[in-house]
Structure 1
Amino acid sequence: MKHTKVRDLLQSTTAIDEVSVKGWVRTFRNNQFIALNDGSILHNIQCVVDFENTPAETLKRITTGAAVAIKGRLEESKGSGQKYEIQVTSLEILGDSDPEKFPMQPKKHSLEFLRENAHLRVRTNVFGAIMRVRSVLSFAVHRYFQEKQFVYVNTPIITGSDAEGAGEMFRVTALPLDKVPTTEEGKINYKEDFFGKETNLTVSGQLEAETYAMALGQVYTFGPTFRAENSNTSRHLAEFWMIEPEVAFNDLDANMDLAEDFIKYVISYAMDNCKDDLEFLN
C-alpha cells in the first residue's frame, strides 16, 4: 500500500477508512499517542495506538527519532489541536532510536547545539521550516523566469575569470602542496597544474551569462557562488546561491522594473505557499 504524506492527511476534507503513513516519532506519551512527522509539513499528525493490544516490546521501541510505518483509519480527532488523527491498526518499527543517545529530544535547542548535530538538525521545526521555504523560493525563481521566457544557463563553477573583481576567490589546484613546482623566478608554475593555468571557484556567472544573452536575448543563472572574504558577519557567506539575469537591449529603467517585479513575485509566491512555516519562523 502506497503511503500518504502527513501534509495531505492533515489537509484531508473527509475521513478515510485505511491510510498508510511513514515518518519519524517526535513524541510518544502515555504509551498511546504518537506525534508523527515526515518533513512534508510543519505540523505533526497524532497516531493513537491501541496499547492494550500492542506488544510491550514494540511500545518500548516507539521513541523520539524512531522511524515507523503506520496503517490505520483517518478519523476526526477526539481531542483539541488537530482536525484529524490516525487510529492505528498496524505499526512497524523501521528504524530504532536509542533515547540515551539520540540528541534531538523534544525540547528547545540552541543554534550552536544544532550546528554541532548538523546531520539531524533538519528534523527540528526551525530547520524544517527554513528548508521548505528555501525550496519554494527556489522553485519560484525558476517559475518566474520561465514564465517570462528567459533561458536558464549553467555557468562554470571552476573558472579562470574573476568577474571584474567581484570578490576574493578560492583557488583550485591539483598541485602537490608539499612540493609546489615553481618557475625560474620562484613563482608557482601553474603550467604544471591540472588546467595549465591559475583557476578558482566562481564569484559570479556574469561573464558567461552576458555572452549567452548576446545570442539568446534574455537568460538567467541560479547557482553556487564562492567568496573568500574572511568576514564573520551574517551578510558575508563563503558559499551562497546567486541569481543573475542578463537581458540584451535593456536600459536602466527596464532593469529596475525587472528586479522589482521579480522580488514581488517570489515573495508573494512564498507567502501563498509557505504560510505555516513563515508564521512559525516569524
Structure 2
Amino acid sequence: MVKKYSVKELLNKEKLFINKKVLVEGWIRSFRYSIFITLNDGSTVKNLQIILSNKLEKKIIKKITIGSSIRVIGIVKKSIGTKQCIELQSLDIIIYESINTEILQKSILQPKKHSLEKLREQAHLRFRTNIFSCIMRIRHHIAFCIHKYFHEHGFFYLHTPIITTSNCEGTGKMFQITTMDFKSKTIDYKKDFFKCKTYLSVSGQLEAETASLGLGRVYTFGPVFRAENSNTSRHLSEFWMIEPEIAFYHLEENINLAEDFLKFIIKYIVENSMEDLVFLNQYLEKYNRKKDNFLLEKLELILKFPFKKISYTEAVKILDQEEKEKNIKFLHPIIWGMDLQSEHEQYLVDKYFKIPVIIFDYPCNIKAFYMRMNDDGKTVRAMDILFPEIGEIIGGSQREERYDILLQRMKDTNTDQNKLWWYLDTRRFGSVPHSGFGLGFDRLVQFITGMNNIRDVIPFPRTPNHAEF
C-alpha cells in the first residue's frame, strides 16, 4: 500500500522522499500546458508541482480544471525547474470532483486577485485562498500556544456558560435569549425556558473569579457576544475572549503576567509560523503598500523592549502637554476623568513611546464595579495594554475582594445585587486579593497577521446585518 503524505510533509522533508512512491491529495491551483498541475491541500502556503504522465487519456485531461480535487500516486523526483526543489511524476490519478468552467468564473477560486470584501461574500470558499489559509493556520497556532502557556504555568482551563442573566461589564447591549412569543403586550418571564430574562454572555470573568477562589489559577477561552451596532473594522458581534483569573495576585503581578503572555505568543508564532508570516508580509507590501518587512519588524518590536508602564494620570499629563507644546489637535479634548479614545491611545504608542504601553490606575467612574478601589478613592487598580495600530489589546484589573466596598460599588453603578448574590457571596467565604484580564483573541490575530479588518481573521464573521453561512 502506498503511504499518503501532506504537501507540507513532502516539501519540508523533500530529500527523504526522492525516488519514493507516495500518495497525495488536494485541490488544483493551476494547470499548464496539459502537463503541469500545481496542487495544494491546505497544509502549507507552498504548492506541489505534479507532472502528468504522457500516457494519460485525453478524456481525463479534459476533466482536470482549476479547483478540482484529485488523488495522485507518483514518484518524487528532483525538479529541474527553479521554482521548486521536488516534483511528483504521476503514475495514477483519480479526479474526485471537477469544476465546471462557467461556475469557476463566478467564484473566488478563479486564478486572479480578489478584494478581501469579495472573499467575505464567499466565506465558505475563502479557506481555499492563499491569504485566508495563511491567516487560519496562524490563528490555529495562536490558539494552541495560548493553551500551552497556561498549561505550563499551572492554570486550569474552565468552561464558563454563554447563557447569563447579567452584564458583567455593566455597559453595552446584549443578545436576549427566549423561547417566548412576544406578540403579547405583557411578558411573564417565569414562563420562559429559564424562568427568567437571559442573554448571551459578554464575558466569563465573574464565573472564572469564583473558580479561581478555589482552584487558584484558571482561564477561559471561548466565544462571547455583544449586540452593539458597531460596523467598524475592529468590532465583531461574536468574538473570542481569553480571560485568566489568578488568586493571591496583585495588580503588578497581573501586569507582568499579561506582558509575558503576549510576548510568549508572539515569540511562538515567529518561531512556528514564519512561512505564513513571510507570505502575509509580501502580501501587505504588494497590496497594502506597507514598507518592506513591515509585519516581521512589528512583531520583533514587541519582543525587543519591555512595555512602557505609566499611570492614567501620567498619560493624561503627557497628552495634554503634547497638545499644547506641539499644537496637536485631538478630536476629543484631554480632560482627567475621561475615557481615553483610540486617537489618544494610538498617539501614546505610535508617536510618543513607539513601543507597547501599559496604562494603570484609571478613574473609578469609567471602569467596572468589580475593580479594586485605590486608597485615593478616585481611581481603581485597572490596567490596559496598548499595541501599535490597534490600541487596546488587553484590559484587566485587580478585583475588589472587600465585601463592603464591592457592595457599595454595585450600588453606585446600579448593578443588580439580587442577580449577582453568588458573586457577592465569594467575598464572604475566605476572600483573597485576586486579579485577571481579558484578551480579545480575534484582535490579537488581527495584529499578528497585519490585516486591516477583523472580519478577515475569523472563519465566519458575525456583524450587524451579517449572519450568513
Q: TM-score band (shorter)?
A: over 0.9
* 2:67 alignment counterpart: 65
Distance 2:70 2:121 in 1: 26
Question: Residue 127 of structure 1 is aligned with which of 119, 123, 132?
Answer: 132
* 2:356 alignment counterpart: none
* 1:230 alignment counterpart: 229
Structure 1: where are the runs of 5+ without partners?
A: 183-187
**Where do 4+ consecutive residues of structure 1 move more than 6 Å?**
none
Residue 166 to residue 73, structure 1, CA distance change in 2 (3 Å): farther
* 1:170 has 2:212 as partner: no
* Mapping 1:45-124, distance limit 5 Å: 45-50=48-53, 52-102=54-104, 103=107, 104-124=109-129
- Decide which moves more: 228-237 or 215-224: 228-237
Is the 1:227–1:238 contact (alpha carbons within 8 Å) kept by the matching residues of 2?
A: yes
Letter in 1 for 2:152: E
Distance 1:180 1:78 in 2: 75
- Per-residue Cα deviation, 1:2-58 (whole angstroms, up to 9, x for no partner): 4200000001133142010000001101000000000000011000102x3101111
* 1:17 has 2:20 as partner: yes
Identity %: 51
Cα distance, 1:166 vs. partner?
5.1
* 2:279 alignment counterpart: 280
Is the 1:25–1:67 contact (alpha carbons within 8 Å) kept by the matching residues of 2?
A: yes
Residue 36 to residue 180, structure 1, CA distance change in 2 (3 Å): farther
Distance 2:33 2:185 in 1: 68
Residue 16 to residue 200, structure 1, CA distance change in 2 (3 Å): farther
Cα distance, 1:181 vs. partner?
6.2
Distance 2:280 2:199 in 1: 36
**Superposition TM-score, scaled by structure 2 size:** 0.57
Distance 1:131 1:166 in 2: 32
Question: Per residue, is there more helix in 1 or in 2?
Answer: 2
Letter in 1 for 2:206: L
Distance 2:210 2:19 in 1: 56
Cα distance, 1:128 vs. partner?
0.3
Task: Indicate the RMSD between aligned Cα atoms, in angstroms.
Answer: 1.2
- Per-residue Cα deviation, 1:127-171 (whole angstroms, up to 9, x for no partner): 100100000000010000001110000000111121131532111
* 1:245 alignment counterpart: 244
Cα distance, 1:281 vs. partner?
1.4
Is the 1:133–1:277 contact (alpha carbons within 8 Å) kept by the matching residues of 2?
A: yes
Matched position secondary structure for 1:53: coil
* 1:215 has 2:218 as partner: no
Distance 2:84 2:136 in 1: 24
Letter in 2 for 1:131: M
Matched position secondary structure for 1:246: strand
Distance 1:181 1:10 in 2: 66
Cα distance, 1:60 vs. partner?
1.0
Matched position secondary structure for 2:199: strand
Distance 1:41 1:48 in 2: 20
Matched position secondary structure for 1:256: helix
* 2:39 alignment counterpart: 36
- Decide which moves more: 109-118 or 200-209: 109-118
Matched position secondary structure for 1:34: strand
Structure 2: where are the runs of 5+ without partners?
A: 282-469
* 1:26 has 2:25 as partner: no
Matched position secondary structure for 1:101: helix
Distance 1:167 1:268 in 2: 34
* 1:153 has 2:154 as partner: no
* 1:185 alignment counterpart: none
Distance 2:270 2:44 in 1: 15
Letter in 2 for 1:65: G
- Decide which moves more: 23-32 or 272-281: 272-281
